[in-house]
Structure 1
């Protein structure tokens, strides 16, 4: 991890729903070129944290700074244009459009051209869209409709779409959900490669511990909205509070079977 000033700085972040504190005053930093895994049991506050970082939920308290820019109070579209991309647990693409058209739509949106009806979307920055698809290994399928793709390939297309705004920070919510072991390792290896080549940062949630330990540079662990541990994967593996709170059922950090 770089010793320079963190790209993302989260301080005293909190969010309540009624009387329940979904996120309770958490702090963490994330550097450019780093993959940070955010893990915890169901209800720990992971998705709520994601939704505050990209503006889908307003924070009740705290600060989220990206390269010195305060994100709290900004709309999701404005945060996206500042360089925050996101992928979702269930891949979101337009099934009726081709692979390349999906990426072109993202480029149109980024360039504020979505409603310029005189410009045909099929012609818009096609070379740029193809370059993004090449980076995720999907250029050869550019003209196929998304509806016929295997799920692992749809996730790759979603990653290309997320790269359309040249993100400084990429949020990945359960990126390998529903994927076979080989597919999820290929996707995360690709993500790691993009992080290194582009110098961007990735914050991701993940239930597959084999993926976390193979690809995360650091981990932060939430339980009931609070940050209970932070460190390198091997340190987290043996952390007594993590073992007690996150794995109270007796589950351990053993590598998952392929």
Structure 2
């Protein structure tokens, strides 16, 4: 049974159909990449799953529950985590305090008269940081971290509500190649250990082909292809939409490396 099932999903802005009747599913323990050229409808789709936008038509079922019409906070409490293209942390707080804030929210607690917030689930926060390789920097302020480390902290924060599904919007944006691979390898490890599902958007094709179990490709709001990376790589329609000349992704990657 699918953990996430999207059926005939559609969203228009004025007379423009940003997403036009797309359907796909996602299983536990799977990384699914949502790719497409600029204006394909990726962000609109992503934001409908997360509840930031409400679908005009269609269904989004997570673990059997309909998500359309729910607010992002309600969806988060069902077990859907999210990271953002631009990492979002409280720079004035320490690394561990950022994770503790997420744990407070997951527990639906704001404060306690008898116990300072800084003491709330510190050990659990440290355990999450250990999983992402950031326990040694727990008491440093987020403002002094390298960007790649901030992304790791954001991942720990996203894991605070024990998500069954993690939505990652351009997770490696702004990162160097080594950092990109380290973050995605870590994500893959967490997916296996927690039997969690990941839906991610990504412009870096080397990341997509290295780590995605399956891919779905959008163009002008419609789903044009879906399948394993090896099936998508040389798909004629995908090649046409991305490059217009029939060049393969490998050739494009080589061109980028030469540039």
- Specify the TM-score bucket, using the shorter chain as the normaliser: over 0.9
The answer (yes or no) to whether the contact 1:223–1:246 under 8 Å persists in 2 is: no
SS for the counterpart of 2:81 is strand
| Alpha-carbon distance in 2 for matches of 1:46, 1:117 | 45
| Alpha-carbon distance in 2 for matches of 1:122, 1:90 | 26
Q: CA deviation at 1:117?
A: 5.9
Aligned 1:37-186 pairs, distance under 5 A: 37-116=33-112, 119-186=115-182
Aligned to 2:199: 203
Across the two proteins, how many residue pairs are aligned to each other?
A: 254
SS for the counterpart of 1:176 is coil
Aligned to 1:36: 32
SS for the counterpart of 1:22 is strand
Aligned to 1:227: 223
Are the structure 2 counterparts of residues 118 and 58 from structure 1 closer, same or farther at C-alpha, using a change threshold of 3 Å?
A: farther
Give TM-score, length-normalised by structure 1: 0.95
SS for the counterpart of 1:158 is helix
Are the structure 2 counterparts of residues 101 and 19 from structure 1 closer, same or farther at C-alpha, using a change threshold of 3 Å?
A: same
The answer (yes or no) to whether the contact 1:171–1:202 under 8 Å persists in 2 is: yes
| Alpha-carbon distance in 2 for matches of 1:246, 1:67 | 33
SS for the counterpart of 2:217 is strand
Among candidates 230, 236, 240, match of residue 232 of structure 2: 236
Give the gaps of 5 or more residues in structure 1.
none
Per-residue CA shift, 1:35-66, capped at 9, x if unaligned? 00000001111111111101111111100011
Q: CA deviation at 1:119?
A: 3.9
Q: CA deviation at 1:14?
A: 0.6
Give TM-score, length-normalised by structure 2: 0.95
Q: CA deviation at 1:121?
A: 1.6
Alignment RMSD (CA, Å): 1.4
The answer (yes or no) to whether the contact 1:91–1:155 under 8 Å persists in 2 is: yes
The answer (yes or no) to whether the contact 2:236–2:246 under 8 Å persists in 1 is: no
